Structure 1
Amino acid sequence: MNTEKIWLVTGASAGLGLILVKMLLDQGHKVAATSRDGGALLDAVGAKLEGSFLPLTVDLADERNVRRAVDATVTAFGGLDVVVNNAGYGVQGALDSLSDADLRGNFDVNVFGVLNVIRAVLPRMREQRGGHVFNISSILGFDGGCADWGAYSATKFAVSGLTEALAVEAAPHGIRVSLVYPGPMREARNAHGHKPGGDPAKMAQALINAAQAQYAPLHLFLGRDAFDQARAKIQSVQQELARWREMSVSIGVADERRLAA
């Protein structure tokens, strides 16, 4: 069975994005990849694969720039099957210490860049009745309790929220959507200063496996740190729901009517 797909990966000049692009090319897929410097991206991939690899210089915050990149991908490869919204960066600092420019710049790339890509690819995927969108959030887009990373966490919570809505909107058109929560990877220290243990190559392969799976996950946590942190957050919320249940449900209109009776 031919499993070759046409992929578009944003933020591919380093880290998970670069590893994913190399892995996809090694496995015979066609890949368009974006970076702010397409020439540097071509050098980073380390291979000139005519007909298989398309490096694109893209400013994801520029909607027209993004649309041109998607058009170029379809023109070069004849279609588009899988999109990975991977581009993003973190702004560190206490929330009251960050400038308006810092905050808006972070949202421009991490949130509005994702939305620009979605608006460009969804009409094509609806027309072809299929496709798969991976939006890379972060474990800090599920559990925001990490001091000095509130701005980054806010952008990733936004990605998580819009992705859940996208999944509902896209499903009737045969489009699959996955929200990915990576934990820290071993190429850098994590937000707590600990040496992370996540293997970016294994994370990249997990995305490929999810794209090939019969049933794609909506929520995909990658890394033991991410898995454990998510489970702890869920347990904490469940405990608070139970502790404050009486107050929570007491304000409902139906409850007031019962009390009046």
Structure 2
Amino acid sequence: MKQNQVWFVTGASKGFGFEITKAALKAGHKVVATVRSNPGRLSSQFNSKDLFVVVLDVTKEGQVKDGVKQAIDQFGRIDVLVNNAGFGLLGAIEEISDSEAKRQFDTNVFGLLNVTRAVLPFMRKERLGHIINISSVLGYATLFPGLAIYSATKFAVEGISEGLSLELEPFGISVTAVAPGLFRTDFTSSDSYQNAEAELEAYKDTVGLRRVAVKDLHGNQPGDPAKLASVVVQIASGDHPPRHLPIGRDSVAAIRAKYNSTAKEVDEWEELSSSTDHAVVA
């Protein structure tokens, strides 16, 4: 098991980021935790010499580079990067404005890329490291109406993680995309989750019902965030981490169902799908 690691965790003020920071410190690691504001609050919650809090917004590339430099100056290296910062957006595609969709991608996808690019030169120099990207079960299957844009960002995270893993393997750097199901965090709080400003009457029986369901679900999700954090620390401490990891029984079941459904559809349409090649010339 790897010990005395230096972790860099984005979005650490609450939710998964907070719990992962807590678990990594408890395991004896050093943690650079990023927040968008009020760094003193997080510092006082842990009161640990092994915690260094940095203020940055992942969508601002200059802030990201400066935050990573501060981390290196403080602890000398970064062994584990946890790209956790993100938020949810609920709305039908027709309801979501261009600016809302871009803001969703700016944080969940381009913010992740900003942080990853800033950290990679230091990991490559050491020829070791582990990048853990917090994705979602919705990165495999858009399970409900109204989640297409958020789900698209998580599909992107899964694809980026897989490609990044292939690129970084020669440098001894691992990449894991973690896909949680429903966990009892404050994901539905105003700074973690947003509804599209427009609400069209046409979608009241689909997306509208989902808006109500989200409110009812809050506080009743099956997953325990502290247990997820423990899993993340475990995989970062091992020598052969997975490339993809669903977390939560609901995530495992949903991803398995998606794969089975896709395989069935491929089989049903195989003859037509395979009819597009050039005829074999004798």
Instruction: Provide the TM-score with structure 1 as the length reference.
Output: 0.93
**Structure 1 position 30 matched with structure 2 position 53:** no
Aligned length: 255
Q: Which residue of 1 is the match for residue 48 of structure 2?
A: 49
**Aligned 8 A contact 1:188 1:196 in 2:** no
Q: Tell me which residue corresponds to 1:8.
A: 8
Note the residue ranges of structure 1 that are not aligned, 5 or more in a row.
none
In the alignment, the residues of structure 2 paired with residue 167 and residue 118 of structure 1 have an alpha-carbon distance, to the nearest angstrom, of: 12
Q: Aligned equivalents of 1:47 and 1:100: distance in 2? A: 40
CA distance change for structure 1 residues 137 and 189 in 2, over 3 Å: closer, same or farther?
Answer: closer
Secondary structure of the 1:8 match is strand
**Hey, what does 2:260 align to over in structure 1?**
235
- Which SS does the other structure have where 2:89 is aligned? coil
* Structure 2 Cα separation of the partners of residues 144 and 48 of structure 1: 40
- Aligned match of 1:165: 163
Alignment partner, residue 257 of structure 1 = 280
Pairing of 1:1-261 with structure 2 (within 5 A) = 3-39=3-39, 41-42=41-42, 46-50=45-49, 52-187=50-185, 193=214, 194=217, 195-253=220-278, 256-257=279-280
2:91, 2:146 within 8 Å by CA — same for their partners in 1? Answer: yes
CA 1:104 to 1:23, structure 2 compared with 1: closer, same or farther past 3 Å? same
Segment of structure 1 superposing worse, 108-117 or 185-194: 185-194
Q: Which runs of 4+ in 1 moved over 4 A?
A: 188-194
Change (3 A) 1:93 1:204: same
CA-CA distance at 1:47 after TM superposition: 2.6
Taking a change above 3 Å as real, the CA distance of residues 2 and 83 of structure 1, as seen in their structure-2 partners, is closer
Report % sequence identity. Answer: 41
CA displacement, residues 108-151 of structure 1 (integer Å, 9 cap, x when unaligned): 10000000011111111111110000011111011123201111
Partner Cα separation in structure 2 for residue 211 and residue 156 of structure 1? 21
SS of alignment partner, residue 82 of structure 2: strand
**Amino acid in structure 1 at the alignment position of 2:92:** A
Distance 1:127 1:240, change over 3 A: same
Give the letter aligned to residue 177 of structure 1: V
Q: Say which structure, 1 or 2, has more relative contact order (CA 8 Å, 6+ apart).
A: 2
Q: Which amino acid aligns with 1:30?
A: K
Asked if the contact 2:2/2:238 (under 8 Å) is kept, the reply is no
User: Which SS does the other structure have where 2:183 is aligned?
Assistant: coil
SS at match of 1:33: strand
* Greater mean deviation of Cα atoms: 52-61 or 187-196: 187-196
CA distance in 1, matches of 2:187, 2:41: 24
Q: Give the distance between the partners of 1:222 and 1:21, measured in 2 at CA.
A: 18
Alpha-carbon distance in structure 2 between the residues aligned to 1:228 and 1:154: 20
Cα deviation code 1:184-226 (max 9, x no counterpart)? 1023689654532111111001001101112110010000000
The alpha-carbon distance between structure 1 residues 93 and 177, as it changes in their structure 2 partners (threshold 3 A), is: same
Q: Is the 8 A contact 1:11 1:86 kept in 2?
A: yes
Q: Specify the code of the residue in structure 2 equivalent to 1:90.
A: G
3-state SS in 1 of match to 2:174:
strand
C-alpha distance in structure 2 between counterparts of 1:200 and 1:137, whole Å: 14
